[in-house]
Amino acid sequence: MSEKTTTNNNSPVPSGTRRMEILTEQLNNDLQVITASRNAAEAAKRAPQAKWTNLAQLGHCTPQVHHTPTSVEEVQRTIKAIHAKGEKCRVAGDGKSPNACAFTSGHLIHTEELSRIFSVDSTAMTITCEGGALLRDIHRVLDANGLMLRCVPSIVDMTIAGAMATAAHSSGIGTKSICAYVTEMVVVNGEGNLVKFSKEKTPKELRIAACHLGAMGVVVRVTVQAERRSTWRLVSDCCTVQRMHQVLAQRVMTSEYYRFWWTPHTDYCYETLGRRLTPADEEHRGGASQAGSASARSLTSAATEKSDTPVGKMKRVLKLVRKETTDASHQQRWEAEQKSLTTQTMSLVKGLWLRHHTLEAALLLGCYLPQVIPFVNKAYQKIFLNSPQEFFGSAVDAFTFDCLFRQWACEWAIEAHRALEALDLIRQMIHQNNIKAHFPVEFRFCDEEDISLSPSVGRRTCWIGLVMYRPHGKDAKDTLRVYRLFCELMQRLGGRPHWAKFFNWRRNDIATSYGGHWQRWLELRQQMDPKNTFVNEWLNNLLTQD
């Protein structure tokens, strides 16, 4: 079995590296204990032909055999045996995808024992780990080494290989999907052989394979590009839909982090803007952020253009100095408030009792009496999304959030400049069809990238997600109807679906939207898995002509 932590001998060793190695090793030991406890509980559910489902409990599968390999060599032996018998196999990460992408009646490989974090290179700012490592654990080790990932999805209790499989994303016009930050990946292909893709030696193939849909093989090792750790300040507030039309373009293009939620059956949005407390290191932010700033200038007024004059530049510098001073004082005040008894008591009452138990009960009532849903939405908006909020913390603490309880999820990626058009059309769709929709409808933004099957490939993207909850496992009456209409609308806007969520595309739809990217992905997939060992029903639907 591989060591938990190794050093990188090919790069200069910075001061304090040994101390960081020891701390990283201690963290890995802690994570091993946590993982062992979780695995013991899971093992009881994995008798031969035991059922398996996802977190949302949307459907289930009954695999012929469950496998929990503890080494790459064991993965290879397992795949070679499956290949020799002509049987099928899929890989289950942490089960966060609310669709059937991991379901199989054949062999199901579980990766929680393939979760080791091998090394952190503080000079190159990279982390190398096994494919089953959870994003949350990766962030913990990076944080201990003064680093972070810029792409932080809303949920980090997912494996790095699973996040890559469906191009998990965050928000901010200067950021991309997790796949775009992968510099190397090692895969056990359909014949049980190891195949390595790297940014240095096989950049083209890496870009094709990174968003792999679980169809290239078992991802057993990954190296991801990180950056220097920053503390983030988030400021959130309520605004009307009308106001959103006035400010969105500038907000998106000038904020390092930006998202907004619209609450159906109301005229209100809730926006969140984020920035780092310290000036970002432009070298590691890359050209995407610089391009974002350039586009921001094209979307703002002529008066803003004058800021490029010497006087304008001086004003920006003075503003930055004042802002950093303000941020520091705000952070101190905010931290003091979080420790107060009043804040902690209100957090307990609103967060646990009201936001979870009471809300879930109200939504459950809405499953039987849909007419109460608009009132539930309005009450939630008034209580939780109606006043300014401020937050300071790490990227993980800032960008993740409580997803409440089990839910259906449907999310599409459209061109960023069509966000407001989409907002108006979604509101119209819900009103005209008398749909009782849950909240929120979320809008997030990402830069274009060159990952073949990323929905953001080739264009700046607005991600639009529509949630329908499953309170106590019960589905709302309008769930499938609203998703059918939402998918039709997104397709008319040239959208591409999130691979991990609800959609009904077939091969022709993908080919039309992705063009040559899809064809190149198919060609590499055929090389990696010539006997279709990793093709389940879900994937077969994508590979089959209408």
| Buried b / exposed e along 56-72 (16+ C-beta atoms within 10 A) | bebeebebebbbbbeeb
The answer to whether residue 103 is domain-embedded is: yes
% pLDDT > 90, the chain: 70
User: Above 50 in pLDDT, residue 296?
Assistant: no
* Whether pLDDT at 331 is above 90: no
Average pLDDT, the chain: 85
**Residue 494: both structure tokens together:** 């040239």
304-315: per-residue pLDDT in tens? Answer: 333 344 444 334
Q: Are 223 and 210 in contact (CB under 8 A)?
A: no
- Is it true that the peptide bond before 374 is cis, omega within 30 degrees of 0? no
Which tens digits make up the pLDDT trace of 196-205?
999 999 999 9
Does some domain include residue 170?
A: yes
Quick check: 262 and 420 in contact, CB under 8 A? no
Q: Identify residue 389 by its one-letter amino acid code.
A: Q
The residues, ordered by sequence, that sit 6+ positions from 158 with a Cβ below 8 Å of its Cβ are 93, 94, 96, 134, 135, 168
Q: What's the one-letter identity of residue 128?
A: T
CB 483 within 8 A of CB 466: yes
Of 528, 531, 530, nearest in space to 85 by CA: 531
Q: Name the CA radius of gyration of the chain, rounded.
A: 23
In a domain, 384, yes or no: no
Question: Does the residue 154 lie in any domain?
Answer: yes
pLDDT tier for residue 56 given thresholds of 50, 70 and 90: confident
Weakest mean pLDDT among 193-197, 286-290, 421-425? 286-290
What pLDDT is recorded for position 322? Answer: 44
DSSP letter at 449 equals: B
C-alpha 458/C-alpha 153 separation (Å) is 21
**Domains of the chain: total:** 1
Asked whether residue 164 is domain-assigned, the answer is yes
Apex 80 CA angle, 79 and 82, nearest 5: 60
Whether 343 is covered by a domain: the verdict is: no
Question: Is 192 or 61 the better-scoring residue by pLDDT?
Answer: 192
Does residue 317 have a pLDDT over 50?
Answer: no
Answer for the pair 97, 54: CB distance below 8 angstroms, yes or no. yes
What is the rounded distance in angstroms from the CA atom of residue 327 to the CA atom of residue 394?
15
**Could you give the angle at the alpha carbon of 330 between the alpha carbons of 329 and 331, nearest 5°?**
90
Q: Which two tokens stand for residue 403?
A: 């997803």
Domain with residue 179: its CATH number is 3.30.465.10
**DSSP, res 477:** T
**Rounded to whole angstroms, how far apart are CA atoms 77 and 83?**
10
Cross-strand pairs, 461? 415, 446
Amino acid letter for position 196: K
Range of 28's domain? 17-228
Which whole number is the average pLDDT over 10-21? 47
- Spatial neighbors of 291 by CB under 8 A, at least 6 apart, are 174, 447
**What does residue 83 show for φ and ψ, rounded to 5 degrees?**
-60, -40
Contact 472, 388 (CB under 8 A): no
In a domain, 46, yes or no: yes
Instruction: Answer whether 141's CB lies under 8 Å from 27's CB.
Output: yes
Cβ contact 167:140 at 8 Å? no
- Is pTM beyond 0.85 here? no
- What are 428-457's pLDDT values in tens digits? 999 999 999 999 999 999 999 999 999 999
Residue 196 lies in a domain: yes
For 76-96, what is each residue's pLDDT tens digit?
A: 999 999 999 999 999 998 787
